[in-house]
Structure 1
Amino acid sequence: MVGLAAAGVAVGLGIVASLPAQSEVDVDHPVPVSALTTTTLESPSPDCGRLTAEDLALSSSRTETFSTRYVLEGVTGEVALPVTGSHAHIGVFVEDETAQATLLTPTGGRLPVESVPRDVDPGTALSRAEEAPHGKLEATPRGVTTPPGLYRLRLEGGGRSGEAKAAAPRATVVVNDDNDLVLHSWLTDNLVDARQTTEIHVQVREGGKPVEKVRATARIYHENGTLVLEHAMTGLGNGDFGLKIRPLQLGRFGKVILDVEGVTAAGMPFRRTGLLEIASGVAGGRLMRIVGERLTDQGLEVDLEYVVTRAGRFHARANLVTSDGKPVAWAQAAAEAAVGRHVMTLRFDRRLLVSGKLLLRDLELTDVTEFPGVKSPTRIGTYALEQALQ
């Protein structure tokens, strides 16, 4: 298989084309704070820093990708290739090196191509030799102008005289339709606990504005390259399409290939392909609640209670913002913890604090015992710090 590599989502996926449901939270049976074991690693100085607007934006669990290209695999005979940009780059990979691949312009003329060595990447994602042991790669020269319209690829066998007629050649095509028609795809959450849900979204934007006439499909693959499920995505309004998955048997890594086709505002057909990678697992710890907050000579301290069901290493992080959302500071802590209930303390340096009401947000506990880390299936929403700052 060439083109976009297929890997990652195991057979036990439960998929519903809708917005994600609220996370299921285990019933908490609070115990006195005095009975909890403090496991924060000893450190003479707080692990924190000043929070910038850029850092705050990156703190979101959302994973995003952008694409102006599309991929067609297993192409035979003749196929239409919609192009909406004036400098599209088209690559064609054919395993049968004797086959003839001809690219035709919207007016029927031949589009020039050149042979591309397999050990370099021409921007088509088709040149990696390990993806197929044999074959040839041809691509349009970089400087070629491509007036928008429907281009065509014609594949013809190159059988030699005296040989039996061979099977029709098959090709993988990548069109990098480089313009302002962009496929924006994202996961609402990554590094997700497999018992929770994450939602896949796609939206095509033309000049920054959503395109409404779109059809989107998600192909979910096992990490061994096997296609597990192909499912249409549901329109959620404003050009947004969504699909909710619960990766019950995802393993560590998975891939979702997003196939999108539609019509621009000017009536031009288009295609786009996106790729999202999903990392998941089962966390050995759960974030439960905030059990203390205090202001000391060194700064603001916030105690987090968490429950460990499998011994390991855990990492906590949170952002501190003003009541109107302006960034103030971030803090993190890590601990080795055995099975049981524990407290981890986040410490914000006093020199970073500002006057007024402060909120704790983007609070997450991650089990980092193995790579990649897996987030706690339970979360704490925005928390107003009041007692310590009075």
Structure 2
Amino acid sequence: MNPILNRFLSYVTIDTQSDPNSSTTPSTEKQWNLANKLAEELKLIGLSDVTIDENAYIMATLPSNSTDASIPVIGFIAHFDTSPDFSGTNVNPQIIENYDGKDIVLNKEKNIILSPDYFDDLLQYKGQTIITTDGTTLLGADDKAGITEIVSAMEYLIHHPEIKHGTIKIGFTPDEEIGRGAHKFDVEKFGADWAYTMDGSQVGELEYENFNAASAKIVISGKSVHPGYAKGKMINAISIANEFMTLLPENEVPQKTTGSEGFFHVHHISGEIENATIELIIRDHDKSLFEKRKVRIATIKEQLNKIHGNCIHIEVKDQYFNMKEKVAPVYHIVTTAKEAMESLGITPLIKPIRGGTDGSQLSFMGLPCPNIFAGGHNFHGKYEYVPLESIESAIKVIVKICELTATKSNR
């Protein structure tokens, strides 16, 4: 079997799903299974200073093989947890060699089909090797493809000392999928001047802008009264929750926005007459529009409280901010990645991320950190897939960035 494919499969078959309701780091004990494996593997391939701390953050170093002490120290980062949105238990990858451009049957028994009629990106990969799910779990290419790429690139550089490079740092994090991947990342210990997260999608993606992000929890208190005698007395928390959602702009939702357009996304609602809870996220690339969205939530609360009494309480928490603010002043780190892709015949796709990565938080922690493609598609669900050739392309980009960083320091 292709050693890169074999490495990727060995990672995705280990369940590392994170849990937003846990207060520990990592949020699930099972993340340690892959974390410990990775730490040992990094030692085996020959990296130095391999560490894994009490929170499962992994760091390692590929020492410089150049006599030029002025080469910047750069890093590559990926996360090993998978999304809580869909099962990561008993992942059973399917390998589709020489993909013919037709429907892929993920699960015949359940009639689950990965079709280019719906997912037209598939047609870019005719003739390639596609790795899919079996229709019952996610795949975990987000972000185990990124881990595969970083480990494989470091191994390649070790085996090809003729490629000159400076000191390279790598880091693997838990709990990125629940927004905590960078929370306990020791930037000072990592010791890089800048880094790249390998956590994007299709080949060529290069991103240094992301959403400003916040979460909101709306708690509604009602009063239960016998419905036959409820006039003027009952306060139905479920009905008020529905009113709240109807006052949100109907076209500013994920399924109706794209590019730099922001949104409100209700992702959880529960309740009964006496208590109801709405959980939503707020996203916008523009900081001023982001703040206006938070004001809008507060305004809706005030409007409904005037009608129903002081029954609605809101908790809004900022999650992360647009890394453009921190990366733009050192834009040469984006240019280096762009040059690396172009030298390999890859067309850079520079665009904002409609989401966030560890890099967005790390950038505000003092480690500027653009995001590079890892190759996967349809993350967080049963239709997730990744072409093997995309993983191989990302490995080449990492190697080339290391080489160019050393070369450019001499210009």
Under TM normalisation by the shorter chain, which class is it?
under 0.3
Greater percentage in strand: 1
Output the TM-score relative to the length of structure 1. 0.24
Which structure's CA Rg is the greater one?
1
Greater percentage in helix: 2
Output the TM-score relative to the length of structure 2. 0.23
